Structure 1
């Protein structure tokens, strides 16, 4: 009898507990897509849980709780508050925020709502890039309007990132706010960052030198990595293509005491030479790359920040004639370009344990490159140490920021760039101290003014001043106007920025002592949020203008066998308009369309005529566009159609070249189908380059890469030389891809 009463008591207690469990699932209000990792919290109580990989939750509550308010929140969505109802399983639908209330840090160096930032910042999450999966962020950023990854060499496929038509060296790439991807590493900086550890990309188009110093002349791409606290416990993404390219992204989270760790691993492998355009050269470089990233967050009193992260990247890539093998590395028998890259990074930040908010940040990198471009050897080593401290203070309507930084660069290679006039080795060692101050002044609820100034001192160029001014006006919640002006500067290292200087196809000559480049930048941004019934339209339009003095240019035209470097005896200009349109519909359809028109050119004094001669910037299309269309089908199917369109762009030609000076209009279109299966699994597949566009005549004289027969008057009467620079699009045609993702929260 006692045993029976005990069993009945247990059943009664379990029944009461079951009656006090709050369960259900959280989903997108428009598409119905489940939201794993959403937070469910009881207002005023220390009771909370998260949705699992299937979007479901189950929160056990005390038997005495008969009513309570529940807050449901998820990044990128408006939070919802509902009344708890015992034993009622329900679906909670959250409304997307239309990306305007997300927190950004890039424009002002501290967290601020994107809607409140006086600097226009564009945000892109991994969800956006998954619409067209790629093995590296270098390829992924091509989906962003006005941002173009440019392949600078058809043989080794190295490249840089152009923002609004300006060359890669004018784009500063940050990782967690640290300027560690620059100079020698620019070409390889975005390759090998595991996509699984990226939380978002923040893009600023325009001046930012007042906060970030040298190189922030044209724009910034800030890669924000995930916090170990919010990252999933396990994430995996494995993809393969019909060209036998294989890519794996893995991440793991662990907690050790008061510290949490996030480990990310990326491995990319492509070892099958292809020559589908029949020019005798590999269409895509063969690559073997591994990248390991580890980040630690430490719990501290009063939620003060303390984190440290490290990354190591090793890559072995080569491209060239199909019969090339390692035995021909550096020889003049079979042409190949072989690059071994070894790179390590250490970054961290620490908030001082004082009453005032004082942040310290540091980064240290090492980059070594062992390369051969035909017979030309390029051996380079770069070490950069960066430290920064700043004070963040709120004083009434003023949000102040003041700090100081120091960057030290040690760079050496085997080119004339780091040699004396007699040819002796002369490594470049550049200390660059700086100080900055910024005031974000809320003049009124609808008006905000930002004033910034930075002072840097270079041992060669001495004092460098970089002011910045920005203004935001929001006449109502639907309209926002931003205007900004600023300056930028850049100390140049040619051999780390211009691959043409290394191919061996042309001889490099520096005609004068180069001066630092300066830029004056301004832009005007307008954002409109327009509800149309149950639909929502967001319009983002920007007019930009950048004026350059002392711009360093490579002259490819005077002598087809040389690249002549000098400061521009005149000015350069980048100006244009960009428009982004996104629409979220009442049906499960989301559309993003962008277009950019730009006029990028330079005017240089012609010594012979004494007149200014205008020439269009190489690899800068007059207009370009991109699109991403997503439709969610029943039973958890999703279809994504993405693409980019480029108008004609000027290309480097040889004297009396028979090839067109401008590239044709072309479109790279892609389609993907995704199926979500069970709890946390996704299967996806599709086609890239649906229209099968492949550039024509990308090489000049590929049958004579060492110019051994260049002086033959019969076979080569116009004196053409081997050249790899006539390039404007990837040489890969249509190809299939398939992959599997798994996420464990």
Structure 2
């Protein structure tokens, strides 16, 4: 490992080269840099993408005339003929105008194509360039570098997890693909795996409730993964890497045409990890062994009058297991001698959008997902199926200085498993199977009112009808004040709601090890929230500094909790007799220097707790302090380096009875370094080190790991001085079990 680090660090010191013959410049729209804008040279195979500051460069060109074509989704294409002089880097900047007729762009906050600076609701945008700063094999791991967003591991054996926004648990975060709620609750981390990075156009993050547009599951925020347009995507993209732990990941995408008016983009993701590692010597695999493949195909159709039409499908298969190191699938799956958790996942998704051929701008969207899970958690079998059908139509129109949106949606969820969650049991066993069938109808309206160039008002309202909870109302109001292009103040207030499906959201309920009991008919969770956001761009003598500060507050009623203490054989679900609060402050600072250095820093303070009968208790896995750091430096001659990291303060952790482990975690810092060498516009090589400080848990992540079945299951004597706790493999997680590791990969792109 030390040799690998030395080689990588030595590689960042290139020799000084003479000035190159070529073209360089910046692509922007006004003062906004356009990241990953596509620049090609007509009648050649040369092409490149702008970096995170909007800059591009072509070197080692032959002197002569070149026709540059600059493209960026949502902006009008610009073409320019330039002369290249021998021994000189010709500078030419491009300012792209917004294409107001292009309706394919979905800005997650309002369902409308709009510049980030024009949105009333603050939206954070992350491009593949951001994801490439710390290469990962899944979206779940990639969002770790986003300030205020926390991927949380919920099981230390099977490595299931969810994504927290501003301290709120995973079920409060809605995951969208191309604006569609494709990642259902059953999929959990499994649905977040296998989305090829080579297909991602950008990721939009909205922190705070968005129920007025998206309905249930959007109380904490949304993460919208927007895939590339098949028409403008590169002809071929390859990205593969492996690590010193022998984790191997491959992303590949290729576009082609089917006739004159159909463009197709085909993507494949494959991930393999098959090593039984046990660095903490507890007898269990530190990381689940996985074999995963995902296939993605998207079609974009050319229509008259630039009307939108697209469709995409994805299939995911995954085989993962974790447990005692000597676990054997053929011998031990479902057995009571060697503990293991084994999950087979089959998943199919379909997404589509079609703009009606009418004079009014009417859009229809649909999605469907089918998820089958065949799993064993020790001796407990969990066999589940879920299907979710979603469709919506909305009318987008303008009247004077009002931008109006009126729509309706329908969502149908079918869920069945082999536990008490969907069955009626007596002493002899199952009496009647009763799958969950839940329809939900929603109506929504939105008015974006431009009072003048400085003031904009957003009014929204949604009415949902649920068969159990009847009518649910979700109003919201937003306001944007923009005195100049360097200052923007945004404020939003509203309500959110969530209809809870406990069987797909609580890992303890999934195993069926306890009887599921409802103390009463559960009411939907509700929230009342307010956000205040301020962005400020400061031109300086050395570059540009951007500040983005947010204060957030959410008050929750009817919060549903799982009581596992009253009766050790039961999980009792009940509405909280009190309230819960999520409040805090966050700050993001971006610094782009005149020399080739860019810094991104963030910090978040949170106070997330529930209060019942006068007693205040912090929520689990909600650290008061957290933050991130990204630094990128371009050395020239194709060499660049990225230093990334995130830190998490002390947070409360779930424990079992008589637990010997601390109730609060220590502070944790995870840091990574990467070196990239770009040989030409097509090929680049990258490598680095993850978890530079070798940060690992200080305590047992699995309670009573030496005795999963009541007898020494792995031949290890109980450690001295530890109380007789019960076996519990879940929840006690605050940092990954992987220590320091190296990685090496390559990317190849043909435009």
TM over 0.5: yes
Q: Which residue matches 2:295?
A: 292
Partner of 1:741: 747
Q: In structure 1, which of residues 649, 652, 668 is the aligned counterpart of residue 651 of structure 2?
A: 649
Aligned length: 701
| Alignment partner of 1:347 out of 345, 351, 356 | 351
In the alignment, which residue of structure 2 is the partner of 1:441?
Answer: 449
Question: For residue 47 of structure 2, what is the aligned residue in structure 1?
Answer: 52
**For residues 140 and 713 of structure 1, do their structure 2 counterparts lie closer, same or farther at Cα, with a shift above 3 Å needed?**
closer
Would the aligned equivalents of 2:165 and 2:207 in 1 still touch at CA under 8 Å?
yes
Distance 2:519 2:399 in 1: 52
Q: How does 1:188-267 map to 2 (within 5 A)?
A: 188-257=190-259, 258-267=261-270
Change (3 A) 1:714 1:337: closer
Provide the residue aligned with 1:401 in structure 2. Answer: 405
- On the 8 A contact 2:686/2:744 being kept in 1, the answer is yes
Q: Is contact 1:122-1:202 (8 Å) kept?
A: yes
The 5 Å alignment of 1:366-445 reads 366-420=370-424, 423=430, 424-445=432-453
Instruction: Check whether the contact 1:374–1:503 (CA below 8 A) recurs between aligned residues.
Output: no
Q: CA deviation at 1:502?
A: 3.6
Alignment CA distance shift 1:462-1:81 (3 Å): closer
Corresponding position of 1:474: 482
- Counterparts of 2:742 and 2:403, CA distance in 1: 51
Given the alignment of the two structures, is residue 602 of structure 1 paired with residue 610 of structure 2, yes or no?
Answer: yes
* Contact 1:122–1:204, Cα closer than 8 Å, also in 2: yes
TM-score (norm 2): 0.88
C-alpha separation in 1, matches of 2:74 and 2:526: 41
Choose which of 23, 26, 32 in structure 2 pairs with 1:25.
23
Conservation of the 8 A alpha-carbon contact between 1:636 and 1:676: yes
Q: Does 1:485 align with 2:493?
A: yes
Structure 2 residue aligned with 1:18? none
How far off its partner does 1:714 sit?
13
- TM score, norm. by length of structure 1: 0.88
Give the secondary structure class of the aligned counterpart of 1:180.
coil
1:539-550 to structure 2, matched below 5 A, reads: 539-550=547-558
Deviation digits for residues 160-199 of structure 1 (CA, Å, limit 9, x no counterpart): 0000000000000000000111210233221111111000
Match of 2:335 among 324, 331, 345: 331
Give the CA RMSD over aligned residues: 3.2
Q: What residue number does 1:578 align with?
A: 586
Residues in 2 aligned to 1:665 and 1:545: alpha-carbon distance in whole angstroms: 25
Q: Cα distance, 1:495 vs. partner?
A: 2.1
1:686–1:556 distance in 2 versus 1, CA, 3 Å: farther
2:450 maps to 1:451: no
Cα deviation, residue 407, structure 1: 0.6
How far did residue 510 of structure 1 move? 3.5
Instruction: Point out where structure 2 has 5 or more consecutive residues left out of the alignment.
Output: 1-20, 50-56
- Equivalent residue runs for 1:124-139 within 5 Å: 124-139=126-141
- In the TM superposition, what whole-angstrom CA distance separates every residue of 1:693-745 from its partner, at most 9, and x where no partner exists? 111211111111123479x9999995410011311111000000000110100
Q: Which residue is 2:600 aligned to? A: 592
Query: Equivalents in 2 of 1:717, 1:199: separation in Å?
Result: 51
CA distance in 1, matches of 2:553, 2:95: 33
Deviations 1:327-348 (CA, angstroms, capped at 9, x unpaired): 2001100000000000000110
Q: Is the 8 A contact 2:349 2:367 kept in 1?
A: yes
- 494, 499, 503: which one aligns with 2:507: 499
Q: CA deviation at 1:253?
A: 0.4
1:112 alignment partner in structure 2: 114
Listed one character per residue, the Cα deviations across residues 442-473 of structure 1 (whole Å, up to 9, x for unaligned) are 01110000000011100110001110110000
Which residue matches 1:145? 147
Question: What is the CA-CA distance between 1:82 and the residue it aligns to?
Answer: 10
Match of 1:687 among 686, 689, 692: 689
Structure 1 portions without partners, runs of 5+: 1-22, 41-46, 60-65, 606-611
Residue pair 1:72, 1:79 contacting (<8 A) in 2 also: no
Task: Classify the secondary structure of the residue corresponding to 2:190.
Answer: coil
Structure 1 229/375 Cα, relative in aligned 2: closer, same or farther at 3 Å?
same
Q: Over alpha carbons, which structure has the higher Rg?
A: 1
Using the alignment, how far apart are the partners of 1:632 and 1:618 within structure 2?
A: 40
Assess, with a 3 A threshold, how the Cα gap between structure 1 residues 421 and 487 changes in structure 2: closer, same or farther.
farther
Secondary structure at the aligned position of 1:179 is classed as coil
